[in-house]
Amino acid sequence: MKSKIPGGEINLTKRIGLCKNDLKHLHDVQKKIIFPPNNGLVRYESLDFTLMYALVRNVFHEEIEKDSKRNRKWGKSPAPSDNSLLAAIERIRGFRNTFFAHPPSTEIKDPIFNDLWTQIQGAVDTISGHIHQRTQLVDYKMEMKNLKKRATDPEVEKFLEKWCKSEKKLNDLLEMEGSVVSFFLIFLKVNVTSTVFIAFSNKNTIIYHFTKPILLQLRRI
């Protein structure tokens, strides 16, 4: 985003402020980040992927691809032959929703993993190609290479298994209620070693506790 939006965080904040109506669908926690109190600036480091996606889709779509909003190119799975920046962003969004935000399982077979990794790496490479050298603080190609070789932390594995089961319980609950409203989560960092998240649906509140301060946003975008 820094490479596509000149003027730094001052211009970023100004542009977002002019498009409030296009961001009404965001929940209150997100709005506090992009509409800071006392005329504060929006900080790039405070934006996670969910917020960045909302901003490029609803505010900075012309910087990503001309006429992309008018042509309704956002929110769709791109064609395999599409190597555009917008397609790379949409691929990562799709992978995040399918394999991170709402995974059917914590396990994945090697051939499927390798295929997914190749696609994700291609998307990351495309995005890296659009980042100006002055604003690129991380070598993402090297990060991807190192990440693939890195062993999974056993504690993280246990967390993911627990999380996946919790996700299934939440989905089952919503189906039983016949709800058409997506649930959302609020994370509460209780202390240094524990994190609690609270899931709200129409009629129920469910509290889950994990013994690692891993804050994951499980909201479909």
DSSP 82-117: --SHHHHHHHHHHHHIIIIIS-S-S---HHHHHHHH
Helices (H), the chain: 8-17, 28-34, 49-58, 61-64, 85-96, 110-128, 140-149, 154-177
Predicted local distance difference test score (pLDDT) of residue 183 = 40
Among 43, 69, 45, 46, residue whose Cα is nearest residue 56: 69
- Whether residue 214 is predicted with pLDDT greater than 60 in this model: the reply is no
- Whether residue 127 is predicted with pLDDT greater than 80 in this model: the reply is yes
Segment 66-83 mean pLDDT: 94
- Residue with more model confidence, 181 or 96: 96
In the chain, what are the domain boundaries? 1-74, 77-150, 154-210
Q: From CA 17, how far away is CA 11, in angstroms rounded?
A: 10
pLDDT in tens, 21-60: 999 999 888 999 999 999 899 999 999 888 999 999 999 9
Place of tokens 């006392």: 38
Segment 53-69 mean pLDDT: 95
- Whether residue 195 is predicted with pLDDT greater than 70 in this model: the reply is no
Sign, CA dihedral 38-44-49-52, equals: positive
